[in-house]
Amino acid sequence: MLHKVLLTGIAFVAFGLTKFVFNILVIRRFSPTVLGEINQVLSVFLLVPILYAPGLGQVVSKFASEFLGANEARKSKQIFSLSFVL
């Protein structure tokens, strides 16, 4: 149990350091304005999966199984492949 807690702590520290170093590099290379824009875009990219992820697996399995049941394996593969893009 303690091992998992330590690994989680190390992961949080590594994530924080990565974000800190990224911010410093962007500010040095570009400007604080660009950093603000990049952080806004990253926030949206992190928010979008929260909105669609909870039901995506259920929807994919429903339609994939319907297409497989109707002997339409090609459509089933398309739905399954598209879910990885989303």
Q: What is the pLDDT of residues 13-38, one digit of tens each?
A: 999 999 899 999 999 999 889 999 99
The pTM score is 0.50
Residue 84 has pLDDT above 80, yes or no: no
Its sign, for the CA torsion 25, 26, 30, 32, is: negative
- Give pLDDT, residue 86: 61
71 phi, psi to nearest 5 deg = 55, 40
- Give pLDDT, residue 85: 67
Question: Residue 56: which pLDDT band, with cuts at 50, 70 and 90?
Answer: confident
Q: Across the chain, what does the average pLDDT equal?
A: 84
**Nearest-CA neighbor of 56 among 85, 80, 74, 83?**
83
CB of 35 within 8 A of CB of 26? yes
CA distances 78 to 7, 48, 69, 82, Å, are: 38, 22, 15, 6
